[in-house]
């Protein structure tokens, strides 16, 4: 009788998960109301409260333990597996169901929430004129900040903070941003350097969010100009923004309006890179004109980042990125890892309105 009730309980669990998955995937409004702004904020805060105080990455240790456990079981029970492979695959199937369902319950349903454009009521389309206006503004800001922060015109800006100091300063940016955008209030942040920085670098990743522990894991080796934006990006995932493009934009917002000028420099170069890519699509000649206006030290910051990632390039990096790209697209993220038009649209919309606000204030 007990086995019978256990079987019914497992079936009920599977049916409940499938029903919720189907509902949330097909109804973004319900996902937004019931999960992303309803249940998830409490889940995230509790998990980060329980594990955030631990100084090392619990998530990395969890993944390591799972991997080692699987290897141990295969080696330890290899003969039993050969004799009864169906029994083995049945147990594997149960483990996969638990793993996948926990992923979605703890964080993954955020993939199916309303897009940020709907939440903010913004139109992310843009014209060539707007791209040029914003790029001109960003070039001027990048040059001004570089002049303020660098030792000379030719030298790249060096971040004076350790990764830990950046983690400690970033919540101030979220607090500042939430005064204008209440949906970006971040309670109980948990940001840590990954225990596997080198592995992440070879995979081509600057960081990731662990959905099971709520930790924002950051690659502490990749401390070039974009490091503050990367940290803010991973923290945006803790808010329940699963989309990489939306986390990119939120990371920009947090650092662009941060009181720390080094963070603002990071955000400005981040946005400028997107706009320069768009300018190059429009006209190679105009792209060259903008590049000629940029101080050599700013270009050196871009070069340093390129050289850092280039030294770790390997055939497997493309495999990892293509796999993650496929995963994102399977979870209703049509742009995958990169969606430059959408991110550029968000940046241009925000900066155009900021330009207009600044203009009106100066009148």
- Our measurement of the distance from residue 219's CA atom to the centroid of its chain's CA atoms, rounded to an integer in Å, reads 12
When pLDDT is cut at 50, 70 and 90, the band that residue 362 belongs to is very low
Taking each helix axis from N to C end, the angle separating 2-26 and 85-106, rounded to the nearest 10 degrees, works out to 50
| Summary mean pLDDT of the chain | 87
Instruction: State the pLDDT at residue 6.
Output: 67
Q: Is residue 177 predicted with pLDDT exceeding 70?
A: yes
Q: Is residue 210 predicted with pLDDT exceeding 60?
A: yes
CB 339 within 8 A of CB 116: no
The mean pLDDT value for 21-48 works out to 94
Which DSSP category does 312 fall into? T
Q: Is residue 316 predicted with pLDDT exceeding 80?
A: no
User: What is the per-residue DSSP string for 83-108?
Assistant: H-HHHHHHHHHHHHHHHHHHHHHHTG
Q: Which residues contact 117 (CB under 8 A, 6 or more apart)?
A: 123, 124, 346
Q: Is residue 328 predicted with pLDDT exceeding 60?
A: no
The mean pLDDT value for 69-86 works out to 83
Instruction: State the pLDDT at residue 33.
Output: 94
CB 142 within 8 A of CB 265: yes
Nearest 5 degrees, angle CA 59-CA 62-CA 65?
Answer: 155
Closest alpha carbon to 218 in 205, 237, 199, 203: 205
- Choice among 94-98, 168-172, 175-179 with the minimum mean pLDDT: 94-98
Q: What share of the chain has pLDDT > 70, as a percent?
A: 88
CB burial of residue 250 (10 Å; 0-12, 13-18, 19+)? buried
Q: Where are the domains of the chain?
A: 2-112, 116-362
H or E segment at 19?
helix 2-26
Instruction: State the pLDDT at residue 46.
Output: 96
Instruction: Tell me the per-residue pLDDT of 113-156, one tens digit each, with 9 for 90 and over.
Output: 999 888 888 888 888 899 999 999 999 999 999 999 998 999 99
């Amino acid at each position: 009788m007990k086995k019978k009730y256990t079987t019914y309980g497992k079936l009920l669990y599977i049916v409940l998960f499938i029903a919720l998955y189907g509902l949330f995937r097909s109804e973004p409004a319900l996902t937004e109301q019931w999960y992303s702004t309803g249940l998830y904020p409490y889940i995230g805060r509790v998990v980060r409260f329980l594990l955030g105080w631990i100084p090392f990455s619990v998530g990395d240790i969890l993944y390591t333990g799972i991997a080692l456990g699987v290897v141990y079981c295969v080696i330890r029970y290899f003969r039993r597996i050969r004799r009864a492979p169906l029994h083995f695959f049945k147990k594997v199937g149960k483990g996969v169901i638990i793993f996948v369902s926990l992923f979605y319950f703890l964080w993954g349903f955020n993939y199916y929430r309303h897009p940020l454009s709907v939440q903010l009521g913004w139109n992310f389309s843009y014209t060539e004129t707007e791209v040029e206006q914003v790029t001109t503004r960003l070039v001027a800001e990048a040059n001004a900040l570089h002049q303020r922060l660098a030792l000379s015109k030719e030298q790249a800006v060096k971040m004076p903070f350790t990764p830990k100091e950046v983690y400690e300063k970033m919540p101030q940016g979220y607090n500042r941003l939430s005064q204008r955008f209440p949906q970006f209030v971040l309670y109980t942040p948990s940001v840590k350097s990954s225990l596997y920085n080198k592995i992440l670098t070879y995979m081509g990743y600057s960081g990731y969010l662990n959905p099971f522990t709520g930790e924002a894991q950051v690659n502490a080796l990749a401390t070039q100009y974009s490091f503050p934006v990367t940290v803010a990006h991973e923290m945006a995932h803790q808010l329940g923004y699963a989309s990489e493009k939306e986390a990119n934009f939120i990371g920009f917002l947090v650092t662009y309006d941060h009181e720390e000028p080094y963070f603002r420099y990071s955000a400005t170069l981040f946005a400028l890179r997107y706009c320069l890519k768009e300018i190059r699509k429009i006209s190679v000649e105009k792209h060259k004109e903008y590049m000629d206006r940029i101080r050599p030290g700013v270009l050196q910051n871009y070069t340093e980042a390129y050289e850092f990632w280039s030294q770790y390039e390997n055939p497997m990096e493309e495999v990892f990125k293509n796999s993650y790209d496929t995963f994102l697209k399977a979870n209703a993220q049509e742009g995958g890892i990169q969606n430059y038009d959408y991110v550029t649209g968000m940046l241009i919309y925000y900066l155009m309105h900021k330009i207009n606000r600044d203009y009106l204030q100066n009148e």
